[in-house]
Structure 1
């Protein structure tokens, strides 16, 4: 749909593609050209043509759009994030880490979108729609799911983006989900005097054009958004209208607390291992000094055995020390997030009494 140029109440049609996986340079360029070609901006009277900026980083297809419309900043930054993958749904050891990432992303959006008119977020979030992480992200930021809001949908059933029919997919991992899972999202919201509607959402199905294989193990997601300016500013709103937000933050904080206790246990175990390896090295050093001082005269010194044992102890010491430092940083990260969630919960619970 071609937007009305120069009309303050005109609308803007954006069609963005989301498929942030490890891709080759050719596929990355294809996505870049497609996104450039599908972004239409009006030239308002007295304003300048909007500009966009796209980036491809580290072999991943990622995009960052800078869109201006007259004197209004339409979308200052649309970050693409890939959250930690889920390898086992029954025993998800990385759930606390994924919640930390979701919380940090939600905080980033809250603090950087205050001067924006429209916020767009797209990417592989590695979370099911009903997972606590996606509920936390949407509830804390007020972002809306394009799949749930789309007036028209075309593509894989239930909007799934990781499907068993994809030749790159590990079929055994999707046995509990015969249709596949939906873990790639386009989320959006209007902050100020604009309204956003998702008119259409599509996912790719099957091989890429002119090829026998798909671009990635994930299906791409394409959304057509209509952005229209309204008469007055709606103001920036925190997505806390739902009373369940307190329950969502509480659930997320509980899961982060579970991860924090596990990280503390790992830190203790690796620290103890490092101390034992250090004691072994000290005992070996005392034995060597004793042999050199003649305390063990008349007995051959087992150089080979002592050398092998010393190398083993040094290896264990280095490994345990590295793991201890890693888990120390993990504890600090989880502890900081848990504290932030605790303070956020207190603020949410005190809000009704302030009114």
Structure 2
């Protein structure tokens, strides 16, 4: 039974689509976003794709009275794009940049330059210690041929590890952001099963928003219709997740999304829909039992991590193949580089102008440098994939041990015999 009336916590999350000179109507949309946040007076606003610090400073100034506490997370070449605005005092902040985030030569995608990351702000909320996370994972450009799936799985793994190891002392945990994953995608299941985070959409008592909670919809003026194939109505890739503790039980009382167009405005806030969750916080003696009941089964955790490990292993094989191609390019360039040197010293070299020989040498050197850089890039990716695979294997082995222990305990107790207990290595035998 709750000992007092529940406190309320209103959380807002939006991918702002704020790529200067590329995103449409950036200045006007940031004005609208600022007006929305100032009007709605959320407790916490978590923004993604605020790629320009100038735009963050604009919002910070505009919202200085309603959100006195802010933090902008900087990483990568153009920044992480992550920002947190809060009514409650920010006690501390921490940023973790994901180890894998696409490829620098994929200029038309550009994720590598964004420095995708997870940011943490620690807040004092009514005397409670709140760990609030904001993140943005690598985009899925093709559902049928997702070349970035291993990268997104590594990001999901690093995200869950970051949350697990930094939220131990928290009274409540909130995560908001653009995960770029459907609800039942592997990375999403991996994150929820190993952190205990609960999806506000599936937990809410009241929902007001787009059909099936979609946050990328066809009716949005900025949405590219080809991005939704084969999901013509829309997809749900933006989330607010939550978790309580032994001191506090959390419940999502309502969740809402924007619905494309904005009243009295000719265009939406962004190409994504915004999420607003109203959370109830109960300080209750029964919260320990409630939260433990939401912990996924060990068998489910093991199945998910095994599936994820297989994806990482496949990505490792593909990256090793790309590294081998880069090595072949290096060796081929070295052989070609010998050609202009030979031509320069041949007696008949008079038939070749120095400009021709120089041009051939420049091309060979360019190929050599490109191959060397690609080799270094893929070697770094292989290290990350192998490290992630090793971590997953450790977790899988630990879960297997727990599962075996549970099975032994269950089989022993079912026939009335005493349960098997592991012998302590520190207890001296009599």
TM-score (norm 2): 0.71
Aligned counterparts of 1:264 and 1:140: Cα–Cα separation in 2: 29
Q: Deviations over 1:46-94 (max 9, x none)?
A: xxxxx97323455946226543246541x13x22111111111111110
**C-alpha distance 339-224 of structure 1, shift in aligned 2 (>3 A):** same
Partner residue in 2 for 1:38: 42
Partner residue in 1 for 2:399: 348
Q: Deviations over 1:112-163 (max 9, x none)?
A: 0000011000000000001001000000100000000000101100000001
Aligned counterparts of 1:348 and 1:52: Cα–Cα separation in 2: 44
Is 2:69 the partner of 1:53? Answer: yes
CA contact (8 A) 1:12 1:228 kept: yes
- Structure 1 residue 195: Cα displacement: 0.4
Aligned counterparts of 2:261 and 2:237: Cα–Cα separation in 1: 20
CA contact (8 A) 1:127 1:133 kept: yes
Aligned counterparts of 1:246 and 1:80: Cα–Cα separation in 2: 26
CA contact (8 A) 1:84 1:126 kept: yes
Which runs of no fewer than 5 residues in structure 2 stay unpaired?
Answer: 19-25, 45-66, 74-78, 91-122, 407-430
Aligned counterparts of 2:377 and 2:31: Cα–Cα separation in 1: 37
Higher share of residues assigned strand: 2
- Structure 1 residue 224: Cα displacement: 0.5
Greater relative contact order (Cα < 8 A, sep 6+): 1
* Count of paired positions: 331
**C-alpha distance 259-280 of structure 1, shift in aligned 2 (>3 A):** same
Matches of residues 1-355 of structure 1 in structure 2 within 5 Å?
A: 9-23=4-18, 24=26, 25-27=30-32, 29-30=34-35, 33=38, 37-39=41-43, 53-56=69-72, 58=79, 60=81, 62-63=83-84, 66=90, 67-69=123-125, 71-73=127-129, 75-76=130-131, 78-231=132-285, 234=288, 239-241=295-297, 243-288=299-344, 290-291=345-346, 296=347, 299-354=350-405
Aligned counterparts of 1:232 and 1:286: Cα–Cα separation in 2: 82
Partner residue in 1 for 2:115: none
Which runs of no fewer than 5 residues in structure 1 stay unpaired?
Answer: 1-6, 41-50
- Structure 1 residue 282: Cα displacement: 3.2
Q: Which moved more, 1:269-278 or 1:95-104?
A: 269-278
Q: Deviations over 1:279-338 (max 9, x none)?
A: 2223433443x34xxxx2784443222111111111111211111111111111111111
RMSD of equivalent CA atoms: 2.6
